[in-house]
A and B are shown apart, each in its own frame.
Chain A
Amino acid sequence: MKPAPFDYVRPGSVEEACRILSEAGGGATVIAGGQTLMPLLNLRMSQPFVLVDINGIAQLKGVTRVEGGTRVGPATRQADALGDKTLARHLPAFITALGHVGHYQTRNRGTIGGSVALGEPAAEMPATAVALGAHIEIASIRGSRMVPADAFYIGPYMTVLEPDELVTGIVYPDWPDGHLVLFREVAQRPGDFALVGLVGALEVEGGVIRRAGIAWFGMGPTPIRARQAEAALTGASLTGIDAPGVARAAVADTAPFDDHHASAEYRRTVGARIFARCLRETLDIRSAA
């Protein structure tokens, strides 16, 4: 199980990286932590001509506060992000989800950008970006653009990223202090991709939900925003929430697969349950409908 041959380059800047990607004409693949890409290379499921290592680009690392939000450099190691005080303060849902990504050893090498950009539909970080309303910052020699996370993913391991483009940042908007975190994951072993999972945030003010951002993972070809559930929750009074009803609405937006670990019906059935339970427990709704 050895990779097919490739050239390796380690650019020192975003500009240089973009130039290499452009010149490669689609034959280049970006490696950051490599925790998902390296298995694909070893199995020869990915056979690029050029591997572009972005670990040497300082500007792609680290967490910074930006206008109205927090920007995470794609080459930031997952383990570093887990211990980051800014993220802990502003994006508790991000930290909760990240704790479920891979294992200690893979988080030590794996990056936020790698997880977000590869778009595994059952992974935590793409869904977290969708749920929290993040934007993906993309650069190429043609210029730069921002893509909302829920428009970024188009299929399993497929995104709108063009072959000459590089993810240069993930910008998560601020949620107000004291917002509530939704997170549930059903996986057979720690570190496995989810059979079904959900992540989200709720802004509550005066007993009323002002804003809801929720996404599923493992429930379709991409991370899936629970739009109907978000709509049902937004503006709802905490005392009047029909958790099972909202959960059904949430599941209505999904399109899960069958595989030998779980059927689509299992994912829908259990998805509705963990959604309802997560709502009840997070909102402390004592009189369950």
Chain B
Amino acid sequence: MNIHAKSVGAVRYVGSRQPRKEDGRLLTGRGQFTDDIRLPGMLHIAYVRSAAARGRIVSIDMDAAREMPGVHAIYTQADLAAVPVAMQTFFFTPIEAPVTLLADGRVACVGDPIAMVIADSRALAEDAASLVEVVIEEETPVVTIADAKTGPLVHPDRDDNISAEMGDEDTREAIQPLLDGCAHVVSTRIRHQRIAQSPMEGRACVASPEGAGEMTVWIGCQSPHLAARYIALVLGLPAEALRVIAKDVGGGFGLKNIPWREEVAVIVAAKLLGRPLKWIEDRFEALTASSHARDQDVSLTVGFDGEGHLQAAWCDYACNNGAWPMGEDANIAVHMFMWPAYKLPAYGFVTRGWYTNTMGLGAYRGPWAMESLVRETLLDKAARKIGIDPVELRRRNLVYLTDQPHTSTLGIPVTDITPGECLEKLVASIDLAAFRKEQVEARKQGRYLGIGIATYIEPTGAAGSMAPMTGETVHLRIEPTGKVVAMLSTHSQGHGTATTMAQVIAQQLGVAYEDVAVYEGDSAIGAFSPGAAGSRQGVIAGGATWRAAEMLADKVKVVAAHLSNASVEAITIQGGMVHVAGAPEMTRSLREIAEIAYGEPGRLPEGAATGLEAQYRYQPPPMTMTSAAHCCMVEVDAETGFVKILRWISSEDCGTVINPGVVEGQIAGGLAQAIGQVLLEDMPYDARGNPLAPTFKDYLMPAISDVPDFEYLHASTPSQTIGGMRGVGEGGCIIGPPTLVNAIADALSPFGEIEELVLPLTPARVLDVIEGRDISGTRAHLEGGASAAVEAVLPVEVAAPAAAGGIDGDWNMILKTPMGPQVMVAHFDTDGSAVSGYLEAPEGRQDFAGGTLSGRQVKFEMKVEKPMKITLKYDLLFDGDSMSGKCKMGMFGSAKVSGERA
């Protein structure tokens, strides 16, 4: 199955369902979650949060609360500001919204933290919090994307409510003629609801200041290393004085990518107060005041030729970023990964994030998953319109192995993806014709069966392209006892990394799985890695342990060969015993070898280091692609609109499967979340900006009865990485939604199309399609809600004076790119209305010419080669000694420019 696995031991651990190493403690109540930490003198925190979505804080009266016995401190932003904090994104770029740990004079969403109460117990802290009186001068909130387009500014110091923008409206003009020439043009629109990530353990943080500068932090996170780096960076703390521990974390799903306002506030407060502090997010906070996810409005139009071949596509994507996103996001990945698995000649898009007065946007398993949902549901719609089988439509357009290498319209190269092969394997395993026959028969009896198929690829194991996405280090040693210890930077919030890494080590080293201990979950061991983020640990840490174990095995062989006076090639390690070919009497245990290696240096080969240790940091290829095709069968009850899932088959290719139990667990968990997104989960806001699902009674998490038994097919095409793994953490959550929607749409096809997909597909919305009327009230809500209660924003009056002293000479200029601000010197020379000059940055200088000056406005263009070939179009307005404007950067959208005369 795995061509990379050298036969080093008799036991094939890779590919086997080894019982998980994590389970022993977790099943017996001996796990160590953050709330299980108890420290002498530890105090507890409760937050006072805004009940208003938008407004000015008039006063905060804390007198009564401060007088309560057991209350030690109540902090507002004025107090926390004593420690400077500059919040950053997961990519270590600045947050552009003026985010502070606690509200700074204004609140911008319900749940905005205003004050933190520190008391002897959580209950006392909540008692005191209820006595803090906050007066807010309320303003009409901006709640939806539609509100954001016309409403007042969410952040008054910003120019508009666009938080991030990429792509180019101009490409619409280029794509339109292509669409006009197509035999079939199909459009779709999807409004994806807001999701609360809802790990079963909410966010949690314990901060313990130790001495003058040291701090130990226990935190619910996805990587102690990333959390440590983040905390050190945003607080300006010396990283060496900070230790972050997270042994057990009850789920992350992207929410815990980075510590956010509340967790950082705990750390700051611990510094200020000099006491260990604990904050445990309760479920009400988790649902209403943890970052949310999705909340998108996307339209896609695709043209096909007469035979169903893709010709061109245009997409308009919008995402509600809320007030305080964990990173302003236009979700460029949606567009990058929409088409690399398909042969599409032309694609254009515009993509934007919008600020609103709602809780901020965070990551959620497959943050770019919309690409698969909108593409795959459109393809099925197109298949019905063109009159072609949906499988056949995909066959005509998918990039099969024989089509590779292939480069997508947006420049994404693919060399070893297998979506087509996964589809063939899937189709071969189900009797489609029989299902169609059964479907026809069932319809005669008023039963509506449907089948949905979807295919996709997923970028996994990214390393080296973005700040936090790096390789992985493993420190591996055989102890003098002969047992094996691995120190890793991996982190499991359920991923079972201690299990899978031990399997790789045991196999590659030739020892028993039970004899390998894996330590992780502590920034004091291992080296930097972002942990569980972007489906990367199996790929990269798996590769690191794979190689390190081989290196260590080599060292054992050298020592054993020397001791036995044999050649290294004659040595094998099996089951913890070191054998010499042809000399069974010379077999030694690893323990014997280890005791000599550590304790009797004189018996080692000359120049050999003592001990049995290996360290390896693996830098994999920049990206490793996973592919899959899924099939789902449903029955829709036409009387009630309820959907029952009858069968679900996953055909995935995640390369080498280290542990099928773990891999299938990842797929199943993602699929359950997909089912939740399509049918159940929803965090709507009312027009006043109140979240309407503040408890698990209102926010419907999938239960056991909602999730069918999944069936699995593994293609296991090894990747280019050491070990041949491909990531599998997010896929179920990406491929699941379109698979299920397609099955429902197929079942509903006798009644008509789901013209606009509004998620979740509640029973009422299913009935809308069946009966062709607005039973759910969704249309009335969407059409009536947008313009209500929002005043149009007036265009800002631009100051009039002309550029005194001309623009000639040097200007210090800042270009705010999606990757962070870029500082440069701009030099202009004018000759009448003609402008030329150069831009100079640390990376080099580039000249331009052919620019124009018109009044105070300067426009010029510049072609660049890196990171890809694009033309930068500058449009600048000069005002005395300052200037501002924007730079259009092709598909990367517009970046703001500001500057002053040098």
Contacts and interface: CB of A to CB of B under 8 A. Distances in A.
Instruction: Check A-B contact in the complex, CB < 8 A.
Output: yes
B885 interface: no
Given A4-B130, A260-B684, A273-B640, A188 B700 contact: yes
Nearest to B683: A260
A195 B776 CA distance: 13
Contact of B127 (A4, A39, A43, A262): A4
A5 interface: yes
24 contacts: A43-B284, A188-B680, A189-B680, A189-B706, A193-B697, A259-B692, A260-B682, A260-B684, A260-B698, A261-B700, A261-B762, A262-B776, A263-B775, A263-B776, A265-B774, A265-B776, A265-B777, A266-B767, A266-B775, A266-B776, A270-B640, A270-B641, A270-B763, A273-B640
A44 B776 contact: no
Interface in B767-815: 767, 774-777
A250 to B, nearest CB: 16
A37 interface: no
A188 B696 CA distance: 13
B403 interface: no
Contacts of A89: none
Interface in B590-641: 639-641
B536 to A, nearest CB: 34
B249 to A, nearest CB: 20
Contacts of B138: none
Nearest to B686: A260
Contacts of A193: 697
A247 to B, nearest CB: 12
A269 interface: yes
A245 interface: no
A186 B639 CA distance: 11
B775 A2 contact: no
B34 to A, nearest CB: 16
A277 interface: yes
Contact of B703 (A43, A44, A186, A189): A189
Contact of B764 (A266, A274, A277): A266
A15 interface: no
B79 interface: no
A192 B767 CA distance: 21
A5 B121 CA distance: 13
A8 B710 CA distance: 49
Interface string A1-25: 1111100000000000000000000
Interface string A237-263: 000000000000000000000111111
A38 to B, nearest CB: 13
Given A260-B693, A269-B775, A277 B705 contact: no
A269 B763 CA distance: 12
B642 interface: yes
Contacts of B682: 260
Given A1-B126, A189-B706, 16 more contacts: A1-B284, A2-B122, A2-B123, A2-B126, A186-B763, A188-B700, A189-B700, A190-B703, A190-B705, A259-B692, A260-B684, A260-B692, A260-B698, A262-B763, A266-B764, A266-B775
Contacts of A190: 703, 705
Contacts of B695: 39, 43
Contacts of B764: 262-263, 265-266
A269 B767 contact: yes
Contacts of A258: 777
Interface string A150-192: 0000000000000000000000000000000000001011111
Chain A CB count within 10 A is highest, among B680, B682, B698, B763, for B763
A273 B777 CA distance: 19
A263 B680 CA distance: 15
B282 interface: yes
Contacts of B425: none
Contacts of B873: none
Given A2-B122, A262-B764, A270 B776 contact: no
Nearest to B704: A190
Contacts of A1: 126, 282-284
Contacts of A4: 127, 130
Given A43-B695, A269-B767, A189 B640 contact: no
